[in-house]
Amino acid sequence: MNRSILVISPEREVLQGVEQVLAAAPGVRLDWQATTLAEMNGHAVQMSGGYDMILFRAAGGDPAEIRAATDLAKGRSGDTVLVAMADAGLSITEAHALTRAGIDAVLPISILAEELPEQIERLQRDRSHRPERMGRLIAVSQARGGVGATTVAVNLADRLLSPADRRRAKQTARVALVDLDLQFGTVGSYLDLPEQEMLMQIAADGTIPDANFLRQSMPVLPGGLSVLAAPTRFVPLEALRNEQVTAILDSLLSTNDYVVVDLPRALAQWIEPVVRRADQLILVSDIAVSSIRHCRRLIDFFTADNIALPVQVVINNESRPLFPSALHREAAKVLERPLDHWLPHDAKAAHNAADRGRPLSQVAPRSSLSRAVGRLAASIHARFPAAVQTKEAL
């Protein structure tokens, strides 16, 4: 299949590097603009219709580049894939800004030789075969055991059912909750669900589940939340394969507005397809120094091959301080992101919900914890509007 790629960079060495990487790729036409994306003054938008992919050198820290990237993403034609090439000086915050602008991927220049051919195939395949409506994947991980990540995942999924703009929405959003903590997952017991052994079954049989299989296997709660719980019996963490997790996620993303995944604390090989598909990674932590340091290590791990992955740290069991202390400021500096979301300690509401096997919104909707989770859900609704929220606009 013939492909056309435009490289935007003032450095000829970048073009030569891309040429070397793609030398063995048949049917690739490569063009070069010896300038920056910002200096093209909108011409990149006009040119985008003639290319399958646009690679541009990311300067970092340049507001004009972010504006140009936003314009390019909004004005691109067809399935043109947009990729920023970054050096080691580009911070996670700057990479995050590019993805928020609509850039499909941010690739470190250091791994272009290894990653670019595969990324070209994957990104073009993903865009050309994307279902008519693709949901958003929100992954939830924990800085340490017992910090409350499952409580956050369950109640976040529940609150995502209600669109941010209820007046315009014709129905609730479609949300799936997946517990991939094969050994110690508690989503099923938290929601008082019958034993669910589907993950153990597919791990044992080697089954690649499809949408119909999942639809028949996942119970749906009265509020509309569909749940894939972890097995009740012990399953080796490596029992699942990458292709099985990929099939589960892709099927659910094609039929839901949001898919919330509760990740295990241990880092298995099959976490890679989760991270690759994640639109948002939420790290649940407390403010302890040890937890913040572990958060930093997890951020580095999850963004090692995807520096543009949006990572949001949620501080659990602590109310938002009126004035951040020196410890809070230092934590935000270490994590390279603001501490925007705080979930207050509300043991009575949390225990009451868990004891009844129901989400907070049904048991203690006016509790401080329930309201804080609602604000977290609202921030995700604002960034990733569900299809049901935009039907009238369409």
Could you give the angle at the alpha carbon of 118 between the alpha carbons of 114 and 121, nearest 5°?
155
Q: Given pLDDT bands bounded at 50, 70 and 90, which one contains residue 105?
A: confident
> What contacts 359, CB < 8 A, 6 or more positions away?
154, 155, 158, 159, 191, 223, 225, 353
Q: Given pLDDT bands bounded at 50, 70 and 90, which one contains residue 392?
A: very low
Strand-pair partners of 81: 53
Q: Given pLDDT bands bounded at 50, 70 and 90, which one contains residue 5?
A: confident
Q: Given pLDDT bands bounded at 50, 70 and 90, which one contains residue 132?
A: very low
Q: Which two tokens stand for residue 163?
A: 């669109």
Indicate the helix (H) or strand (E) that contains 125. Answer: helix 112-128
d(CA 295, CA 143): 5
Chain mean pLDDT for the chain: 83
- 199 contacts 163 by C-beta, under 8 angstroms: no
pLDDT digits (tens, 9 = 90+) for 133-170: 478 999 999 988 887 899 999 999 999 998 654 444 45
pLDDT digits (tens, 9 = 90+) for 268-303: 888 888 988 888 999 999 999 999 999 999 998 888
- 228 contacts 197 by C-beta, under 8 angstroms: no
d(CA 1, CA 51): 13
Which domains does the chain carry?
A: 3-128 (3.40.50.2300), 136-389 (3.40.50.300)
Q: Which has the closest alpha carbon to 365: 154, 155, 147?
A: 155
Strand-pair partners of 178: 228, 261
- 259 contacts 195 by C-beta, under 8 angstroms: no
Q: One-letter amino acid identity for 46? A: Q
Question: What 3-state DSSP class applies to 85?
Answer: strand
pTM of the predicted structure, to 2 decimals: 0.69
